[in-house]
Structure 1
Amino acid sequence: MSTRCLIVDDSARFLEAARALLEHDGIRVVGVASTGGEALARIAELAPDIVLLDLDLGGESGLDLAPALARASPSAVIVLTSAHPLEDVKELVAAAPVRGFLHKSRLSGQALRDLLGPGQGSPEH
């Protein structure tokens, strides 16, 4: 069974690149969203296993959106992503209802599977 992923990012280029990369790595991208409203609609409609959520959604904050997504789909694992280093946002990530953090440059199907796996809840550096 393949992992079903929803990607939430305001960059069309990143959405396209991330979808291609993850699908190549065996992660099924079931949908994408570029705003909080779209993300909430898609998570309810698609019931993904994992949500890859950008920290900075243009005028919105992924950190502010994470609790609403967690309430909308309690079984979905939320992973924050950003081009910013984890050190810059470590405390914010630790306080959010998410499984971890993945720097955009380290995105891969294996990295997401590692975060999904048992005992793999610590944020990546």
Structure 2
Amino acid sequence: MKHSDRRCLIVDDSASFCAAAQRLLEASGITVVGTASTLAEAVATAETARPDLILVDIDLGAESGFDVVEALHAATTEPRPAIILVSTHDEDDFADLVEPSSAIGFLPKFELSADSIEALVLNSPRPNT
């Protein structure tokens, strides 16, 4: 799948991060089909927008990004979207939680790009099921 074929949902409680990520991804040809800041908004948007890629911030204020990942995984149908956890924190801080989650992996926010997303999707050892 090319960047231009990707449809992305961004789940983050920071409006400024959502806007910056949307600009960055859309400049690379990824279509951002929506943003959400809560688990309920994420599930509702995923059900209507049908993204094939979802970026989920680990720290969503009162909610856990890990809970959002599992809710999205349970709520979406085949083909399931690739779900990637993102954070400003170091990957080592969450490695023991990322591995057993339904996410295909983790990207630090400062490394976010269409190419880093594509590399993670292509090199994921787990199918999106």
**TM-score normalised by the shorter chain: which range applies?**
over 0.9
Is 1:65 the counterpart of 2:68? The answer is: yes
Aligned residue identity for 2:40: G
User: Match of 1:83?
Assistant: 88
Aligned residue identity for 1:31: G
User: Match of 2:54?
Assistant: 51
Identity in percent: 45
Instruction: Report how far residue 80 of structure 1 moved.
Output: 0.2
* Distance (Å, rounded) in 1 between the aligned partners of 2:42 and 2:14: 14
Per-residue CA deviation, residues 34-59 of structure 1 (Å, 9 max, x unaligned), is 11110010000011000000001111
User: Match of 2:119?
Assistant: 114
Is 1:22 the counterpart of 2:30? The answer is: no
Per-residue CA deviation, residues 3-42 of structure 1 (Å, 9 max, x unaligned), is 0000000000000000000001111101100111100100
Aligned residue identity for 2:28: D
RMSD across aligned positions (CA): 1.1
User: Normalising by structure 2, what TM-score?
Assistant: 0.89
* Distance (Å, rounded) in 1 between the aligned partners of 2:114 and 2:25: 5
User: Normalising by structure 1, what TM-score?
Assistant: 0.92
Query: Where do 4+ consecutive residues of structure 1 move more than 3 Å?
Result: none
User: Match of 2:100?
Assistant: 95
Give the paired residue count.
Answer: 120
Q: 2:44 aligns with which of 41, 44, 48?
A: 41
